[in-house]
Structure 1
Amino acid sequence: MKKIMLSALSLLAAISCFAQIDSAALNNVFGKKGTVTGDVYKISYPRSDLKVTVDEFPVAPGLALGSWIGIIQMHGQAMMMGDLVLLDSEVPKVITKLMEENLEVTAIHNHLINETPAVKYIHYHGEGNAVELAQKIKAVLQVTGTPLTPPTGTLITPKSPDWSKVTAILGNTGKPTGSLLQYTFPRKEKTMESGMEMPPAMGMATAINFQMNGTSVAITGDFVLLADEVTPVVKALTENGIMPTAIHSHMLHDEPRLFMMHFWAVGDPEKLAKGLKEALSKTNAKM
């Protein structure tokens, strides 16, 4: 009987560790619907209010201007991580508000270069009750110009370009949306942050985005790398005409230690896809 009781308690503990996150309550806080992937709730706030160009190429919000929030429910509490896209003038008040809300700032840096206006990215971290964490980061968003509600009226979605040359190289797992094609390539090994296993949806996957603008195609995103992968990926990218634009960390207590490498190029989509595939081959990513 004692063994049965212990087994039942172990089962209950396991269930509580991976309890389904209350997405309805989080949607209520954020005022719109997020997505749930496994144990991860994720919601995005594109900076559609900004008109950013890189060397005269107009950057779509979905290409490189998407603030996002990820919340994972484990071990009886939640962890929140994400990325805020900000104008330089918004950075000081956001840092102040993050401190007021007892959230950690884990990185402040660029992702792009030569962009107008200048854009910075703040990564953050928090632990506690999921709804309370959502309320805290919502209060942070409110001190920025980030649009907090979906646009009203009928939106005309442009016809998706022909990405067949790209998908022939990188595969059909990419998600086409309007002028964009977006890929994620998870890493094969387990990644941890503050003792919690972090699934790919929490920013642990290499992200690659394509944007078609007329006859030009731009690429950007970030590779998630181990230290020994950084130099081989830089070499593969630069040899294929793709410029690394930033190398940095996003977290403070990650295991193994991870580095994020952002990149940019404009050119022929087939050539760019081949360069990205060569760079991916230097990593431990699932392709």
Structure 2
Amino acid sequence: MTATTDVRRAAVAAVAACGLVAGCGTTTTGPAAQPTKVHDQHQGQGTQGQPIDMVKTTEADWQQVARALGRPGKLSADGTVYRVGFPRTDLQVTSYGVRIKPPFALGSYAAFARYADGSTMVMGDLVVSEPELPKVTDALQRRGIAQTAVHKHLLAHDPDVWWSHLHATGRDPVAIARAIRAALDQTATPAPAAPSSPPPLDLDTQRIDAALGAKGSNDGGIYKFSFARKETITSHGRVINAAMGVNTALNFQPTGGGKAAINGDFVMTAGEVQKVIQALRRGGIDIVEVHQHALDDEPRLFYMHFWANTDAVRLAVALRAAVDASAVKPA
């Protein structure tokens, strides 16, 4: 066997492998659109095997993306991630008698980051009703947007709602935005509402902050916390951060009398999963799901949704024990 034959066989194998990965090679922008070249996700390492880092951007850099998606986003404080939200204010979802507010667990989003090699990566999560899920799946797959998880965030809830994580990497962020918009158009996701001041919180936020060792924020009447991994996380050879959705998110929805329903996500390495489960159960918190958000993150990360509805300060103490069982810090 000659060296030339070996090279040819390797090239054929590489092409075949690329064909098995959604988003590897091309992304389309619509049913009649021509394929647009995107970055090869399997050649995502920088020089000497170093991950490719994010670069800072401005709001102006993302205006065409905002237009393609039909709504504005928000740039992270460090300028690396442009995140666009699509709250499902149209869905009337209840779980264990609690009416779920959109900022609590019904917020679709797409997070865009630009990289030093000129590529853009998008990670996100779409909240869809059960009848919408097949149509959204088909729309994403037709346009080369990868789905990296399909799961639920809540236990018993009505109507049935699913969450589909998405991923894309390419040279044209507007083409990716149009592909995501095509999937959103398969849902009843409403147009964005005018900004308004969040309602006051019927919670002892000072004691909750003290218990969690962090400062929460009021997002539409939901008290929220975010914790980032302490180590560098990569996907497809590129650095990803908490603003992309790689975070422990703790959400408190007031339910009266100082009580709150809690839901969110713990981000964990494999060795932390059982420790976090045990800490949550010791605090009387139910486990909803254990799953992944990405297909090739490094180190390998898992995410856990949870639920409880009782005294908010007591729940914050229980959540702190689970936070301390994983290598995270306030984001």
TM > 0.5: yes
Indicate the SS of the match to 2:313: helix
Query: Are 2:97 and 1:60 aligned?
Result: no
Identify the residue that residue 207 of structure 1 maps to in structure 2: 249
The equivalent position to 2:86 in structure 1, one of 14, 38, 45, is 45
Identify the residue that residue 4 of structure 2 maps to in structure 1: none
Name the aligned partner's letter for residue 83 of structure 2: K
TM-score, with length taken from structure 2:
0.78
Identify the residue that residue 36 of structure 2 maps to in structure 1: none
The structure-2 alpha-carbon separation of the partners of 1:167 and 1:248, relative to structure 1 and needing over 3 Å to count, comes to same
Indicate the SS of the match to 2:109: strand
Indicate the SS of the match to 2:264: strand
Identify the residue that residue 122 of structure 1 maps to in structure 2: 164
**Counterparts of 2:82 and 2:197, CA distance in 1:** 28
Identify the residue that residue 270 of structure 2 maps to in structure 1: 227
The equivalent position to 1:151 in structure 2, one of 183, 187, 193, is 193
Identify the residue that residue 4 of structure 1 maps to in structure 2: none
Indicate the SS of the match to 2:329: coil
Indicate the SS of the match to 1:197: strand
Q: Is the 8 A contact 2:222 2:252 kept in 1?
A: yes
**Counterparts of 2:239 and 2:227, CA distance in 1:** 17
Percent identical among aligned pairs is 38
Identify the residue that residue 5 of structure 1 maps to in structure 2: none
Shift of residue 157, structure 1, vs aligned partner: 4.3
- Count, aligned residues: 272
Alignment of 1:1-287 (within 5 A): 18=55, 20=57, 22-37=61-76, 38-74=79-115, 75-128=117-170, 129-147=172-190, 149-151=191-193, 157-161=198-202, 162-215=204-257, 216-287=259-330
**Counterparts of 1:282 and 1:29, CA distance in 2:** 41
The structure-2 alpha-carbon separation of the partners of 1:144 and 1:170, relative to structure 1 and needing over 3 Å to count, comes to same
**Counterparts of 1:260 and 1:243, CA distance in 2:** 14
1:202-250: per-residue Cα shift (whole Å, max 9, x none)?
Answer: 1111000001022331000000000000000000000101011000011
Indicate the SS of the match to 1:107: strand
**Counterparts of 1:125 and 1:172, CA distance in 2:** 30
Unaligned stretches of 5+ in structure 1? 1-9, 11-15
**Counterparts of 1:97 and 1:30, CA distance in 2:** 15
Name the aligned partner's letter for residue 104 of structure 2: L
**Counterparts of 2:152 and 2:322, CA distance in 1:** 21
